[in-house]
Amino acid sequence: MANNTLESTQKLSFDQFKQEVLKDYKTAVISRECSLLGRREVLTGKAKFGIFGGGKEVPQLAMAKAFQKGDWRSGYYRDQTFMMAIGEFNPRHFFASLYAHADIEADSFSAGRQMNGHFCVHTVNNDGTWKNLTEQYNVSSDISPTGGQMPRLLGLAEASKKFKNISALHELSHLSKQGNEIAWGTIGNASTSEGLFFETINAAGVLQVPMVISIWDDGYGISVPAEYQTTKQSISEILKGFQRDEKNKGYEIFVVQGWNYSQLIDVYQRAAKIAREEHVPVLIHVTELTQPQGHSTSGSHERYKSEERMLWEKEFDCLVKMREWIENFELTDENGDVLRFCEDIKELESLEEEAKTEVREAKKDALNALLEPILKERTELVKILEKIAPLSEHKVSLDKVKRELMQIEEPIRKNILDTARRAVMYLRDENEEVKTSLQKWVINYKAQQKKKYNTHLYSELPNNATNIEAIAPVYSEESKLVDARVVLRDNFDAILNKYNEVLIFGEDSGAIGDVNQGLEGLQQKYGIERVYDTGIREATIIGQGIGLAMRGLRPIAEIQYLDYIFYATQVLTDDLATLRYRTFGKQRAPLIVRTRGHRLEGIWHSGSQMGSLINLLQGMYILVPRNMTKAAGFYNTLLKSDEPAVLIENLNGYRLKERMPVNLGEFTTPIGVVETIKEGQDLTIVSYGSTLKLVEEASKDLSSVGIDVEIIDAQSLLPFDIKHDVVKSLKKTNRLAVVDEDIPGGASAYLFEHIVNKQNGYLYLDSKPITITAKAHRPAYGTDGDYFSKPSVNDIFEGIYKMMHEAYPAKFEPLY
């Protein structure tokens, strides 16, 4: 019966059908052979670590058949067969990534930056323009944290809905064919235990987006069996409540055995039709999969699988089953002739032999390609060492390190550079003639490696966010003083009007126009597709934004309060912040995260934890505007660029008065540039956000006792002061205080290190520099809680007065 289904859905002539099946089988055999040889490469020390797709080949063939150009995948490390079946991966590439070949031509997924099994297809050209995403298979770059692919998947699927429903987006025909694309997810059975999985499943059901999520179920998560992972040991069983029915929208859920090729093809075709045509999410629980070699190269599954299970895995290995099916397949045509896939088993055997040879050859080629440049580099160094050695007093040592380097059969760059740097150490006190060529070689070699390993954290294109020029807000005579949230709102209005791709969403962002009315009336004006409410689910709000941004839209995702960003921090730090780096600049997601914080009251409402974000979000911008005009300018800057950022508005600033600029949507606040907001002679105070208001107040008290401070607004924490303006101020004042609402050792330590160390501020200091910060604990509630937890005007005054007293005891009497 299944065979008939397959035939009818495929509508192919028998011969075409046969060719298709054999091609699939060969792809699966190639994939399996890669897994087997890959493991050997790791166990013999040629590669560091391996995680492969063995035991999951057959369902991936079926998924690949339903996957169309323009579609997207967000999956995990088991998908090598799918990648091969869509033509984006081959054995040569398999080994290049296993060997961590640090060249984007050899390992197009990450230029050797990611472990093997982390797939990707480039979405941007070298000049930063989008590729035609409708004409290629799109694979969003994988990350290792289990379940981490899920939030992004939601956004990839939601983008189709936006491209369909927002008519102004239809002209972006290189990004989408009016939303005809499916976002395909894959996840392991055990990883469905993660909260991100459930959050995404619920959100996609609510949003009704074209998403097909496959669960590759092999009964284990490394060594831990399903009984410890999943209630009722079945994810499809417990998700039954999501099944759509006549009354309610929901999911279509399929369960299919992972070794049943023909049923799999049928299920995937049906799933694709539902998702593509009806924009309904589909879940496919693919059961009875195996792991013929265990989880990864770091262990062996004999340790935790029973003998019985091991026997079952051998029997139900999807490749074995597919082969059986091919061997036994028979179809009687209308003439009564019996049609078969293979008349003779030898046909299959020779196909398998061919596949194996192809993999072995690819392995050799990949290794040679890896080694070739490295061996050349070694020769270069060796030649220099041989030239220098006879002239050196350290000939014996130089000869020894050279010999050791030459003895390494398959050297890596670490071996080469280590040898060279040791040689520099030996030659440190010898004359220039001897050592210059080597020193130069080391400097040059290091620079070359930097390009390989330390680039693309931020954009290297001309529109890098820090290159966007400042445009000052312009005021006319009619410019009124208004509540600052109105400046923000009118600027968002201008943005939504100017950029059709901008979407703004979050908790309470739609109907009421956010909790502080910064989006007031904008849903009414621009429609529910562009300014909208989401559920309370920070991680997937960010995931939504990542996926939308990856598909060429310009989402502004709102996290209602800074303190709640931690629900989404895993997604931000592991996925968004690493995206450009881990793809060697070949994918991007210019998501703007809008949030509000600073100087609130209470343990979970303080909005101050900037240090933690700075540590986790390298690869993003962290902007802390002191007022709403500055904030609006940052949004305008970010939209001219294409990089991700978190922007923290001042919660207590929305009702303060600011003048309304006339060039809304146009003026920009430069990123990475500080601003001096008060000039002074005696001391430089660096601060940011709403604490600046307290600093300004304290400066008046300080002025009244004869201390004239200069106040600098950091404005941007990541990056901070790229022009090194603070040190220029220190040259004048010779004293530094960093005032910060974060804990001791938080953002203040970061600013301090930048100023004193990176900017060499220590050279100009006449007093010990200080930080004035909050207490180490979370701030207590209420005005007194704030006063005794965070730096107050008194604390700032006294801290700085003390510094001046220590410098001039006669002039400044001790306060206490």
Out of 189, 214, 257, 459, the only residue in the binding site for ligand TPP (CB under 6 A) is 189
Question: For residue 597, how many C-alpha atoms fall within 13 Å in the half-sphere facing its CB?
Answer: 28
Q: Which stretch binds ligand TPP (CB under 6 A): 3-11, 143-151, 356-364, 427-435?
A: 143-151
Q: Which stretch binds ligand TPP (CB under 6 A): 220-228, 302-310, 483-491, 507-515?
A: 220-228
CA 547 – CA 74 distance, rounded (Å): 9
360-393 in b/e form (b: 16+ CB < 10 A) is eebbeebbebbbeeeeebbeebbebbeebbeebe
Least gap, CB of 189 to ligand TPP (angstroms): 4
Residue 78 interacts with, from ligand TPP, Mg ion, none (CB under 5-8 Å by kind):
ligand TPP
When asked if residue 191 is in the footprint of ligand TPP (CB under 6 A), the reply is: yes
Residue 558 interacts with, from Mg ion, ligand TPP, none (CB under 5-8 Å by kind):
none
Strand partners, 11: none
Of 301 and 394, nearer to Mg ion (C-beta) is: 301
Question: For residue 764, how many C-alpha atoms fall within 13 Å in the half-sphere facing its CB?
Answer: 20
Which residues 6+ apart lie within 8 Å of 456 measured at CB? 580, 581, 583, 584, 585
Of 79 and 741, nearer to ligand TPP (C-beta) is: 79
Least gap, CB of 190 to Mg ion (angstroms): 5
When asked if residue 90 is in the footprint of ligand TPP (CB under 6 A), the reply is: no
Which residue type occupies 60? Q
Residue 222 interacts with, from ligand TPP, Mg ion, none (CB under 5-8 Å by kind):
ligand TPP
Residues that bind Mg ion (CB under 5 A): 188-190, 218, 220
When asked if residue 218 is in the footprint of ligand TPP (CB under 6 A), the reply is: yes
Q: Which stretch binds ligand TPP (CB under 6 A): 182-190, 326-334, 538-546, 611-619?
A: 182-190
Residue 191 interacts with, from Mg ion, ligand TPP, none (CB under 5-8 Å by kind):
ligand TPP
Distances (CA, A) of 763 to 272, 730, 753, 768: 65, 9, 13, 12
Distances (CA, A) of 530 to 203, 398, 485, 488, 547: 17, 67, 20, 17, 15
Of 292 and 506, nearer to ligand TPP (C-beta) is: 292
Least gap, CB of 53 to ligand TPP (angstroms): 9
Least gap, CB of 715 to ligand TPP (angstroms): 35
Least gap, CB of 610 to Mg ion (angstroms): 39
State yes or no: is 605 an active-site residue: yes
When asked if residue 82 is in the footprint of ligand TPP (CB under 6 A), the reply is: no
Residue 144 interacts with, from ligand TPP, Mg ion, none (CB under 5-8 Å by kind):
ligand TPP
Distances (CA, A) of 551 to 26, 171, 508, 684: 33, 14, 25, 45
| Residue 801 CB neighbour total at 10 angstroms | 19
What are the strands, taking DSSP E only, across 697-795? 709-713, 716-718, 736-739, 770-772
Task: Identify whether the C-beta of residue 211 lies closer than 8 Å to the C-beta of residue 281.
Answer: yes
DSSP summary character for residue 389: G
Which residues 6+ apart lie within 8 Å of 82 measured at CB? 60, 61, 63, 64, 67, 73, 75, 186
Rg (CA), the chain: 31
Residue 141 interacts with, from Mg ion, ligand TPP, none (CB under 5-8 Å by kind):
none
Beta strand 330-332 with 338-340: parallel, antiparallel or unpaired? antiparallel
Which residues 6+ apart lie within 8 Å of 785 measured at CB? 601, 602, 779
CA 294 – CA 304 distance, rounded (Å): 10
Which residue type occupies 396? V
When asked if residue 190 is in the footprint of ligand TPP (CB under 6 A), the reply is: yes
When asked if residue 222 is in the footprint of ligand TPP (CB under 6 A), the reply is: yes
Of 223 and 436, nearer to ligand TPP (C-beta) is: 223
Report the candidate in 56, 264, 79, 35 with the shortest Cα–Cα distance to residue 184.
79
CA 620 – CA 640 distance, rounded (Å): 15
What are the strands, taking DSSP E only, across 620-705? 621-623, 645-650, 657-659, 675-678, 683-687
Q: Which stretch binds ligand TPP (CB under 6 A): 212-220, 275-283, 418-426, 462-470?
A: 212-220
Helices assigned H by DSSP within 528-598: 538-550, 566-570, 579-582
Residues 576 to 615 in contact with ligand TPP, rule: CB under 6 A: none
Residue 145 interacts with, from Mg ion, ligand TPP, none (CB under 5-8 Å by kind):
ligand TPP
When asked if residue 301 is in the footprint of ligand TPP (CB under 6 A), the reply is: no
CA 774 – CA 609 distance, rounded (Å): 10
Report the candidate in 641, 570, 92 with the shortest Cα–Cα distance to residue 363.
92
Helix (H) or strand (E) holding 214: strand 211-216
When asked if residue 208 is in the footprint of ligand TPP (CB under 6 A), the reply is: no
Out of 32, 78, 177, 599, the only residue in the binding site for ligand TPP (CB under 6 A) is 78
Out of 128, 145, 225, 744, the only residue in the binding site for ligand TPP (CB under 6 A) is 145
When asked if residue 146 is in the footprint of ligand TPP (CB under 6 A), the reply is: yes
Task: Identify whether the C-beta of residue 619 lies closer than 8 Å to the C-beta of residue 595.
Answer: no
When asked if residue 188 is in the footprint of ligand TPP (CB under 6 A), the reply is: yes
Which residue type occupies 451? K
When asked if residue 197 is in the footprint of ligand TPP (CB under 6 A), the reply is: no
Out of 17, 109, 220, 567, the only residue in the binding site for ligand TPP (CB under 6 A) is 220
Least gap, CB of 201 to ligand TPP (angstroms): 15
Active-site residue, from 118, 394, 598, 605? 605
Residue with smallest beta-carbon separation from Mg ion:
188
When asked if residue 144 is in the footprint of ligand TPP (CB under 6 A), the reply is: yes
Residue 146 interacts with, from Mg ion, ligand TPP, none (CB under 5-8 Å by kind):
ligand TPP
Residue 644 interacts with, from ligand TPP, Mg ion, none (CB under 5-8 Å by kind):
none
Least gap, CB of 221 to Mg ion (angstroms): 5
When asked if residue 295 is in the footprint of ligand TPP (CB under 6 A), the reply is: yes
CA 110 – CA 405 distance, rounded (Å): 28
Number of residues that bind ligand TPP (CB under 6 A): 14
Least gap, CB of 288 to ligand TPP (angstroms): 13
Residue 159 interacts with, from ligand TPP, Mg ion, none (CB under 5-8 Å by kind):
none
Residue 214 interacts with, from ligand TPP, Mg ion, none (CB under 5-8 Å by kind):
none
Q: Whole-angstrom distance between the N-terminal and C-terminal Cα of the chain?
A: 92
Q: Which stretch binds ligand TPP (CB under 6 A): 219-227, 502-510, 660-668, 736-744?
A: 219-227
Least gap, CB of 491 to ligand TPP (angstroms): 39
When asked if residue 567 is in the footprint of ligand TPP (CB under 6 A), the reply is: no
Least gap, CB of 188 to ligand TPP (angstroms): 2
Of 78 and 754, nearer to ligand TPP (C-beta) is: 78
The two three-digit tokens of residue 176, written as one number = 């989408």
Interface with ligand TPP (CB under 6 A): 78, 144-146, 188-191, 216, 218, 220-222, 295
Q: Catalytic positions, please? A: 605
